[in-house]
């Protein structure tokens, strides 16, 4: 098993339904990763230890998913100079607006790469982590290019199917 | 000089114009306090050390002011079981809506007592800290009662002045 | 039966599903409490009487849950110098943004400790009440420390379970 | 001097710059009114006494201006069955969105007639109070009709002036 | 059948589930009313004719419910000097925030008494209409007082039931 | 089959449930159209080619539906001087507030005609496209007039049905 | 002087500073227009008369600028099948969020082409009106193409100036 | 002069006051960069050409600043598999909430690393670009570590200065 390059942390196991999309992106691109539940608030020491030891274990990029007053990504970014990607989980009554702002409005000096809310954001977190690694990994870069082309083809297929179905229901157009 | 009972932390020295209102509340009520700049993101170790050693130094309540993706109160609350009061500083382009949500929408298990944005919130943070201490301090409790009565009298005075001024401009009423 | 130290008020019985979480926190920590439905708007006299007589009955902290133009916590805070904790109930079409602002944006002089919306907020209201009492109650303070450690352990268990389940579905990682 | 029919309360003397617009509307229509500073939070007893005795003193309509967690209108509405008009003062960092929701999102059973934020809202509060009195006062009703017609004429005048000025700057149109 | 005193308009028949609450309030208080579907946008002439002829038909107060870019209340207010009450229907994807602002932020000169979103707001629209009529109708005023007292009693009953049920589940408190 | 005059693009086939309403509007008015899935982000070249060649193929108006950081309408508008209508799809956790702002807040120089969120917006996009074509097509203009009158009649029918049903449930009114 | 093709209405003369940008766009493209102040609320009859007679006077497109509970565009759209463009004026304390929603969230059947807030939106309103007329006016269409190209050149010039100025301040880059 | 590794694009020269902060971050860390004005909407071809040729010119990371319906970052991300960082410029009447959502809520498949609004966000964009390059550049990684330490020291200095100044004004504490 390859040493993980990307660390995916989530503040609660209830975030998994979203964060598994980040895992899937990385699986698809063949990027090894580590996934764990560790909270900025409930397990600060565990989070801190994990982050401080990550670089020497080979981690290159962090992904952190959390909801509400989502501090996980910021707490990780405070402890590392590796890129940190934040995924706003829309788990509270405010549907993730709180999560977007709590992750995204970081002060100068401590960047967090904020994604969209929910599954799309988690999926993109995996892709961005791969893009970051792809900056110095030509093979991964090629995989990303192929992924992008496949995505376009997928849209084309859906387009064809939709046009056909539409024409059936609206034949006289 | 009395040992401080309340610790007032702010994430940036630019928060001072707001946070000094918390100091003033405590000065007025004769509650000793400590004030410092320590960031959740830029000086996480300093913040952590300060919080972990606070209880044995006699600190009973924390007040934390920060703006934007304001993590300071949450990071303190992660490290202590003392009450933590958060003041959302309206220093970003979103006027503090981000700060309110980033401080207020804490997950279950880690409470932060969130105040209003800005100077009113900072003033109230000092008062709430005093109210918390007043639960077991009858003398302070009396001062708080007096403070409340004085506040009502102040409103009465302003009412009288305003009615008089209004009557001058609108004499025929 | 112990004399209640914490008073939990809610503006409507429909808030109970949320507010019971505050009760549960206090039950867990062995803090006695009183729970009642009393509205700032529909039963202002009852609310006022309850609050005015609370201190001599031994109440030390108030918790108030309400939704929409949520005035209950503020109305209580107007009548007492005991700490008041407000829980924004997300019961209206705006999902609690109205409740957050109606409880949180209190004017200078009248603090209300605002929690997160919904069940997490109610749970935290109970915990914050206990933390406030814990300032002068070493036994309760110890229970809170244990509660915090148990919470961390619980995260660790969930982490282990989640990693294991994930590894089954994504075996080749 | 006529006995006041409308009571205009404001939570703080700093609200006067807005609330004077309500006075002006009533002055213009010859409706007698009372104006005072009384806070829901800082002077709850004064507010309550004023409201409870208002009906027998001849008050028919209340106007209440407040900002932030604006409870004044709701607190008045809790004590009376006279119509209560609320004016959201945009005095906090959130520009009055908090005030709108804290006044407007009242629970079933306790209506508050919420106006727009700021001066336009205060002006309209005075007009609505007059409209309410006009339901059973034909003379006032006639004044309101004239007011409405004058307002239309005023728009016509502004229209003429603006068209002329525009044509000067853009002569070739 | 009594001549209607209150006119309840809604922009779409899909608003009826909400607006029936206004009818119920008036039924309960014995106030006669007229209810109709008439849109500001789809049937502007019908709306205009209805409003212009309403005063001579005995209408004293208007209630208008609409959602989204809700113009109905404002369009009515443009045509009358009778009080107009607006109910923001939360029927769009924005859950009524659009409706609140489109009804509430009226320009100076044209007041609309804005209620809360949804059923509570519609219920209160009926009550406010009755309060307005009650200003010059002592019998209705008495009914409103009784309504208010009954409402308080209802809260007391719910309080008793809830305390009892809670005590069963949490017996050792 | 008539050459399409209106091009309806959507960023994802999941937008179809909304966008079919634009098709229905055009079908009803006998306006020929083309419908396709093409993403600003996933198939930028396809989108660009389609837009660049549209004018010579006879397209007169574009309709673009997308959700979240909805760039499709803006990307089309960047490539054409034909009118572009944008439909904010409420598909993300923020219910379309993101889509409204991402489509609507276009910079000076590049207009996009933004519709309401969701099905009403898509329906209106079709109507606006027809109105634009109707500016120089008297027959279509007549159809639009008839459509508008039918819509008013439909409201009248619903009004009659609703009044009748209401009267059954509330007979004594 | 050419007969106006575009009618630019604004609800208040205070909107002129924004709406003059629509005039400027049309002046630049040689499109004749009419500009007037007419309010949906204060001069409903004038507005209605102007709109109803507009088509026969040769008006092809409406532009309406208003702020707050901005009903002008919707009220025009209710009376015409000509395209209506709405400009949300950011004149209230909410900075135009109210205006965006009050103009944009129109119900199905009555489209309004909503622009961005403020000057950019007004400028674009003029351009969109020209684009709509350009659908059947080849000369205007050519002017729009030239306008678009000039705009690109303008960006290029600004780019050159900015790079040069930047290089002076940061010479070693 | 070193070949640029980071490309900083902004949609308008008026964004420069913000975006120069990204330049400063990179200057401080010795990372070469290119800065230019190129709009997604006004110069789509220029933007596209620049992005498509960037990789072979040695660009590794993109930074894009734009405001309102900010499409620049998304349009770049559509054309490349290099990491794209977006900076929401708070230049519109909505203070950047529009920019945050228009940049941040990207669909699955096309990640954009969204920063905070304004100068802090632009500064962090430069830092994140450096962190991304630092993943495979040990020397840059060391500079980032030093930068982080210096930032902490800077906070310490400000803390000392603030404490001292505070103590002067509040000597008896």
pLDDT tens digits for range H118-163: 999 999 999 999 999 999 999 999 999 999 999 999 999 999 999 9
F125: confidence class by pLDDT, cuts 50, 70, 90: very high
CA atoms within 13 A on the CB side of H156: 11
Looking at the fold, whether G131 and G171 belong to one and the same domain comes out as no
* DSSP 8-state assignment for residue F3: P
Instruction: Tell me: pLDDT of E172 over 70.
Output: no
Query: How confident is the model over E71-86, as a mean pLDDT?
Result: 98
Q: What is the mean pLDDT of residues F16-43?
A: 97
Contact between D17 and D90 under an 8 Å Cβ cutoff? The reply is: no
Mean pLDDT of A131-156: 98
Q: What is the CATH number of the domain that holds B117?
A: 3.40.50.1970
- Say if B and A touch: at least 3 Cβ pairs within 8 Å: yes
Of the candidates G12, G9, G25, the one whose C-alpha atom is nearest the C-alpha of residue G151 is G25
Which residues have C-beta within 8 Å of that of residue C58, sequence separation ≥ 6? C3, C4, C5
Check CB contact under 8 Å for F37 and A170.
no
Q: Please give the backbone phi and psi of residue D21, each rounded to the nearest 5 degrees, phi first.
A: -65, -35
- The angle that helices G97-104 and F97-104 make with each other, rounded to 10 degrees, is 90
Tell me: pLDDT of B1 over 80: no
Percent of chain D with pLDDT over 90: 95
Tell whether the model's pLDDT for residue E173 goes beyond 80.
Answer: no
Residue B18 has pLDDT above 70, yes or no: yes
Q: What is the pLDDT of residue F2?
A: 81
**CB under 8 Å to F41, separation ≥6 — which residues?**
F11, F71, H74, H77, H78, H106, H107, H109, H110
For residue B1, being part of any structural domain is answered with no
Same domain, B51 and B89: yes
Q: What is d(CA G32, CA G26) in angstroms, rounded to the nearest whole number?
A: 7
With bands split at pLDDT 50, 70 and 90, how would you rate the model's confidence at B19? very high
Is A1 part of any domain? no
Could you tell me the pLDDT band of residue A1, with boundaries at 50, 70 and 90? low
Secondary structure string (H, E, C) spanning F31-50: CCEEEEECCCCCCHHHHHHH
pLDDT at C8 over 90: yes
Give dist(CA G27, CA G72) in Å, integer: 23
Report pLDDT for B68.
97
DSSP result, E20-85: HHHHHHHHHTT--EEEEE--TTT-HHHHHHHHHHHTTTT--EEEEEEESS--HHHHHHHH-SS-EE
Mutate to test the interface with F, among G74, G78, G102, G116 (most CBs of F within 10 A): G116
Residues of B in contact with D8 (CB under 8 A): none
Please give the distance of CA G136 from its chain centroid, rounded to a whole number.
20
In the predicted structure, residue E79 carries a pLDDT above the cut 90: yes
Tokens for B157? Answer: 């005075």
Q: Is the pLDDT of residue C34 over 90?
A: yes
> Angle, nearest 10°, between helix axes C16-29 and E138-169?
40
Confidence (pLDDT) at F92:
85
Same domain, B162 and B173: yes
Confidence of residue D173 (pLDDT cuts 50, 70, 90): low
Mean model confidence pLDDT for chain H: 96
Give E117-171 pLDDT, tens digit per residue.
999 999 999 999 999 999 999 999 999 999 999 999 999 999 999 999 999 999 8
Residue pLDDT, tens place only, C96-123: 999 999 999 999 999 999 999 999 999 9
Residues C86, C151 share a domain: no
pLDDT, residue H92, reads 85
Residue F91 near residue F15, CB atoms below 8 Å = yes
**Mean pLDDT for chain F?**
96
The pTM of the full predicted model, rounded to 2 decimals, is 0.98
- Give C142's pLDDT tier (boundaries 50, 70, 90): very high
pLDDT at F13: 97
Quick one: pLDDT at residue F91?
A: 84
Do H110 and F42 touch, CB atoms closer than 8 A? Answer: yes
Q: Which of residues 113-152 of B touch C (CB under 8 A)?
A: 113-117, 119-120, 123-125, 127-128, 131-136, 141, 144-145, 147-148, 151
Residue A95 lies in a domain: yes
Length, in residues, of chain G: 173
The answer, for B101 touching chain H at a CB cutoff of 8 Å, is no
How far is residue D55's CA from residue D75's CA, in Å, rounded to a whole number?
16
Q: What is the pLDDT of residues B58-102, one digit of tens each?
A: 999 999 999 999 999 999 999 999 999 999 999 889 999 999 999
Q: What is the mean pLDDT of chain A?
A: 96
Please state the length of chain A. 173
**B166 inside 8 A of chain D by CB:** yes
**Local confidence band at F173 (pLDDT 50, 70, 90 cut-offs):** low
Q: What is the 3-state secondary structure (H, E, C) of chain B?
A: CCCCCEEEEECCHHHHHHHHHHHHHHHHHCCCEEEEECCCCCCHHHHHHHHHHHCCCCCCEEEEEEECCCCHHHHHHHHCCCCEEEEEECCCCCCCHHHHHHHHCCCCCCCCEECCCHHHHHHHHHHHHHHHHHCCCHHHHHHHHHHHHHHHHHHHHHHHHHHHHHHHHCCCC
G53: pLDDT strictly greater than 80: yes
Q: Find the CB nearest H158 among B33, B37, B69.
A: B37
Do H126 and H56 lie in a common domain?
Answer: yes
B98-157 per-position pLDDT tens digit = 999 999 999 999 999 999 999 999 999 999 999 999 999 999 999 999 999 999 999 999
Confidence band, pLDDT 50/70/90 cuts, at residue A2:
confident
CA B1 to chain CA mean position, Å: 22
Residue of B nearest to D27 (CA): B173
Does residue F1 lie in a domain region?
no
Q: List CB contacts (< 8 A) between E159 and chain C.
A: 13, 36-38
Residue among C65, C93, C98 with most chain E CBs within 10 A, to mutate: C93
Length, in residues, of chain E: 173
The pLDDT value recorded for residue C84 is 98
**Do C105 and C68 share a domain, yes or no?**
yes
Residue E152 is part of which domain span? Answer: 138-173
Q: Taking 70 as the threshold, does the pLDDT of residue H173 lie above it?
A: no
- Look at residues E6, E86, G18 and name the one whose alpha carbon lies nearest to residue D124: E86
pLDDT per residue as tens digits for the range H86-128: 999 998 899 999 999 999 999 999 999 999 999 999 999 999 9
Q: What is the dihedral of CA F61, F62, F63, F68, to 10 degrees?
A: -150
Any H CB within 8 A of B48 CB? no
How many CB pairs below 8 Å do chains A and C form together? 59
pLDDT score at B5: 98
Cβ–Cβ under 8 Å, residues H38 and H68: no
Cβ-contact A63, A113 below 8 angstroms: no
Q: Are residues C96 and C159 in the same domain?
A: no
Does the structure show a pLDDT above 70 at G173?
A: no
Residue at G1 is within a domain: no
DSSP string, D11-74: SSGGGHHHHHHHHHHHHHHT--EEEEE--TTT-HHHHHHHHHHHTTTT--EEEEEEESS--HHH
In a domain? residue G44: yes
User: Chains F, B in contact: 3+ Cβ pairs under 8 A?
Assistant: no
ipTM for this prediction: 0.97
Partners of D67 in the β-ladder:
D89
Q: Does H33 touch chain G (CB under 8 A)?
A: yes
Say how far apart CA G50 and CA D155 lie, in whole Å: 14
Separation of alpha carbons F33 and F2, rounded Å = 9
Size of interface E-F (CB pairs under 8 A): 59
Average per-residue pLDDT for chain E = 96
Contact at 8 Å (CB) between H66 and H122?
no
Name chain G contacts of D115, Cβ cutoff 8 Å.
none
pLDDT of residue A11 exceeding 60:
yes
Q: Which residues of D touch C101 (CB under 8 A)?
A: 68-69, 94, 97-98, 101-102
**Inter-chain contact A13–C156, Cβ cutoff 8 Å?**
no
Instruction: Please answer yes or no on whether F81 and G144 come within 8 Å at the CB atom.
Output: yes
Identify whether residues E131 and E69 lie together within a single domain: yes
Q: Which residues of C touch A19 (CB under 8 A)?
A: none
Question: Residue D35 — φ and ψ, nearest 5°?
Answer: -125, 135
Rounded-to-integer distance, Cα E127 and Cα E8, Å = 13
- Whether the pLDDT of residue A102 is over 80: the answer is yes
Same domain, A80 and A20: yes
Q: Give the whole-angstrom CA distance, residue G111 versus residue G62.
A: 12
Q: Quick one: average pLDDT of B154-164? A: 98
The answer to the question of residue H21 being in a domain is yes
Triad H88, H91, H92: Cα angle to 5°? 105
Choose, out of C44, C71, C103, C117, the residue to mutate when testing the contact with D (most D CBs < 10 Å).
C71
Report the alpha-carbon distance of residue G78 to residue G74 in Å, rounded: 6
Q: Is the pLDDT at D44 greater than 70, yes or no? A: yes
Q: How far is A43 from chain B (nearest CA, A)?
A: 8
Nearest CB to B170: which of D23, D36, D38?
D23
G153 and G93 in a common domain: no
Question: What are residue F114's phi and psi, to 5 degrees?
Answer: -85, 135
Task: Examine the pLDDT at A173 and tell me if it is beyond 60.
Answer: no
Show residues of chain H in contact with F44, CB under 8 Å: 75, 78-79
Which pLDDT tens digit goes with each residue over G21-34?
999 999 999 999 99
Short-list G103, G84, G87, G116, CA closest to G19: G87
Instruction: Report which of F46, F72, E147 is spatially closest to residue A151, judged by C-alpha positions.
Output: F46
- Candidates A81, A131, A133; nearest CB to H111: A131
Cα torsion F76, F80, F86, F91 to 10°: value is 0
Q: For position E91, what pLDDT does the model report?
A: 84
Query: In this structure, are H115 and H142 located in the same domain?
Result: no
Report how many domains make up chain B: 2
In a domain, D1, yes or no: no
On whether the CB atoms of residues C68 and C98 are closer than 8 A, the answer is: yes
Residue-wise pLDDT tens digits, A35-91 = 999 999 999 999 999 999 999 999 999 999 999 999 999 999 999 999 999 999 998
Q: How far apart are CA G7 and CA E131, in angstroms?
A: 43
Indicate if G51 and G103 belong to the same structural domain: yes
G95 contacts in chain D (CB < 8 Å): 95
């Amino acid at each position: 098993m390859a040493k993980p390059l990307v660390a995916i942390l989530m503040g609660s196991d209830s975030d998994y339904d979203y964060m598994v999309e980040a895992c899937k992106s990385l699986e698809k691109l063949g990027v090894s990763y580590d996934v764990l539940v560790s909270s900025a608030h409930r397990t600060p020491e565990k989070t801190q230890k994990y982050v401080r030891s990550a670089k020497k274990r080979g981690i290159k990029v962090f992904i952190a998913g959390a909801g509400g007053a989502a501090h996980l990504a910021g707490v990780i970014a405070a402890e590392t100079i590796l890129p940190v990607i934040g995924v706003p989980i829309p788990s509270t009554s405010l549907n993730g607006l709180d999560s977007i702002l709590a992750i995204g409005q970081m002060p100068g000096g401590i960047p967090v790469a904020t994604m969209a809310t929910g599954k799309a954001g988690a999926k993109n977190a995996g892709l961005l982590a791969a893009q970051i690694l792809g900056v110095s990994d030509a093979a991964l870069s090629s995989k990303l290019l192929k992924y992008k082309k496949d995505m376009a083809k997928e849209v084309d297929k859906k387009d064809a199917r939709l046009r056909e179905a539409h024409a059936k229901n609206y034949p006289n157009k």
